[in-house]
Amino acid sequence: MYTDIPFVPRLAGVHHVTLPVGDPARSQAWYERVLGHHRIAEFTEGGAFAGVAMAHPGGGPVLCLRHDPALAAASAGFAWFSLGVPDLPALEALAARLDALGEPHGAVVRTTRGWLLPRLRDPDGHELRFATADEGPPPFRGQVLRLAGGREAALRSRTA
């Protein structure tokens, strides 16, 4: 097994994810309202406020919102990570919730490894993507996949 190799570190998942934000209070309120996160800590650096840490009641890594307006502006539009959703019905329910909240997002699309809900933007313009953990049956060669932005892609080989 690969963990028996001495130079491979033993890891235990993702501990936390940090996003640069222009206004931590605004971002905290958005993540609470839209996704259900709740604040668990405030952190400082050099005695000055640096941001907040948030957890989700469904689990997953802690989300740290770090006050860094310049980096937040420079990285607007970038998808720092994708959040896992258990299955397609949960992803469709999330899309319906976002619609009810008036939050613009992309369509639920089939990918080579499951389903994806792209193009939700947080207050700083970071793209949030949601992907199913349940991959479902693999697509077949020649199947046309609907991708974000209305693009299409035909698979050249069967995925496993």
Structural contact between residues 37 and 56, judged by C-beta atoms closer than 8 angstroms: yes
pTM over 0.95: no
**How many Å apart are CA 49 and CA 52, to the nearest integer?**
9
80 confidence band (pLDDT: 50, 70, 90): very high
Residue pair 85/132 in contact by the 8 Å Cβ criterion: yes
Q: Return the amino acid letter for 140.
A: F
17-59 residue pLDDT tens: 999 999 999 999 999 999 999 999 999 999 999 999 999 999 9
Using CA atoms, how far apart are residues 94 and 101, in angstroms rounded to an integer? 11
Convert the pLDDT of each residue in 110-148 to its tens digit: 988 899 999 999 999 999 999 997 666 555 555 555 554
Q: What angle do CA 67, 62, 85 make, to 5 degrees?
A: 120
C-alpha–C-alpha distance, residues 118 and 133, integer Å: 15
Categorise residue 119: left if φ over 0, alpha if ψ from -120 to 50, beta otherwise.
Answer: left
* For residue 158, pLDDT beyond 80: no
CA neighbours within 13 Å on the CB side: how many for 64? 15
Between helix 24-35 and helix 88-101 the angle, nearest 10°, is 120
Residue 154 predicted with pLDDT over 80: no
